[in-house]
Structure 1
Amino acid sequence: MSEHLRYAGASPERQRQALEDIVRSQPVLMAVLTGLRDMALPDAWLVSGAVYNVVWNHLTGRPALTGIKDVDLIYFDPADLSYEAEDRVIKAAEARFAGLPLPVEVRNQARVHLWFPQKFGIVVTPLTHSTEALKRYASRTHAVAVRLEADNTLTIETPFGLEDLFAFRITPNAVLDNRAAHDAKGARAKTVWPEITVVPWPDDVG
């Protein structure tokens, strides 16, 4: 087996420990997680690319931030669904993470249903909590969220498990008509990590 696949097929517990070890070994991710905890946003998580890309870089011996465009943060605040409220959080995050080598994007998941149809042409129901959004990601591989708790433990949410991530396999999630996003993300990923296999979107969906 290739060295980068050393956690493929491992137990869920071993894969979760490997993910935690990799996250903790990366100063940028830990700075983000610490800063996010300090912001005290409700139901806040570090999600998606900055997590799984760091894993792929670690396992293939690439520099930790290779191919990472930005850092995605999510939170859930249904008390104020205005853009102005979200924008205040965005500006606070920009100030909090100004010294990082990557831009940080933060979004209130309680507002997703308000702008998703205009941006993607798909009507969605309101989410009930932050990590519910992971189940709607175009690719199951990308559905990973991490949070640093008050006692410095890491909480990890992976609704589809971690096998695809550690198998370097981008697998579609056909719960929504996200074929275009899955195809685009898969094509881009292949240019950075040729070790990846992109599973085609099912022809009978979307």
Structure 2
Amino acid sequence: MMDILENARSLELPDWWVCAGFVRAKIWDTLHGFEERTPLPDVDVIYYDNSNLQEEVEKQWEAKLRDLNPNVPWSVKNEARMHTVNNLAPYTSSVDAIAKFPETATALGLSLDRSGKIILVAPHGISDVINVLLRPTPHFTENPNLLPIYEQRVIKKKWQTTWKQLQIVPT
């Protein structure tokens, strides 16, 4: 995990975080006593730069990360543009975007400060992820039109097949 965080930090992106499943899955794997990490479909690196909203730039960052660590399925997104993809109001920062992820247990991010100290952002706390509980974030519960996204993710991701202790809060 530290290699991945150091790879991301090396890009010197503004307001960057490695987030979502990268963090959540490690916690759930540990709580389930898994000796090996569950394979991830991608490693989400997000940043916030409203001076350049071109998707091609994100692909360039992904290519640089693949050069550094080709065995990682990198996904890089500029949260300054992702509100348009998700048809939402603009995000004000990467942390604002993380707060609006579908699930509280996924609304987590890790970064490194200049000295290499790990920084955790958890806009909704860590209680749900530690208790292996999945529920929609307040952004989703306050916007019922978004709840089908949460529900579809629960079905598609099949998290309970991997993490048997997982409790899913219905909408």
Q: Compute the TM-score of the two structures, normalised by the length of structure 1.
A: 0.74
The residue type paired with residue 12 of structure 2 is A
Cα distance in structure 2, aligned partners of 1:168 and 1:184: 19
Secondary structure of 1:32's aligned partner:
helix
Report deviation, 1:168.
0.6
1:95, distance to aligned residue in structure 2 (A): 2.0
1:146 counterpart (104, 110, 115) = 110
Cα distance per residue 1:15-68 (max 9 Å; x no partner): xxxxxxxxxxxxxx1111011111111111010101110111112111442152
Larger Rg: 1
2:142 matches 1:178: no
Cα separation, 2, equivalents of 1:107 and 1:168: 27
**1:181 positional shift:** 3.2
Question: Residues 134-193 of structure 1, C-alpha deviation per residue, up to 9 Å, x if partnerless?
Answer: 121111111111101111211111011000001110011224433233224334111111
- Structure 1 match to 2:57: 85
Q: Which amino acid is the alignment partner of residue 116 of structure 2?
A: N
The count of corresponding residues between Structure 1 and Structure 2 is 165
1:94-113 equivalences in 2 (<5 Å): 94-98=66-70, 100=71, 102-113=72-83
| TM value normalised by structure 2 | 0.88
The partner residue of 1:57 within 13, 29, 53 is 29
Distance in 1 of aligned mates of 2:59 and 2:41: 21
Aligned pairs for 1:125-204 (under 5 A) are 125-173=89-137, 174-176=141-143, 177-187=145-155, 188-201=158-171
Matched, 1:75 2:40: no
CA contact (8 A) 2:11 2:61 kept: no
SS at match of 1:178: helix
The structure-2 alpha-carbon separation of the partners of 1:67 and 1:198, relative to structure 1 and needing over 3 Å to count, comes to farther
Aligned to 2:98, the other structure's residue is in SS state: helix
Shift of 1:108: 0.5
Aligned-residue identity in percent: 25
Q: Which runs of 5+ in 2 are unaligned?
A: none
**Is 1:66 equivalent to 2:38 in the alignment?**
yes
Q: RMSD over aligned Cα, in angstroms?
A: 1.6
Corresponding residue SS for 1:33? helix
CA distance in 1, matches of 2:85, 2:56: 14
| Inter-partner Cα distance in structure 2 for 1:172 and 1:114 | 21
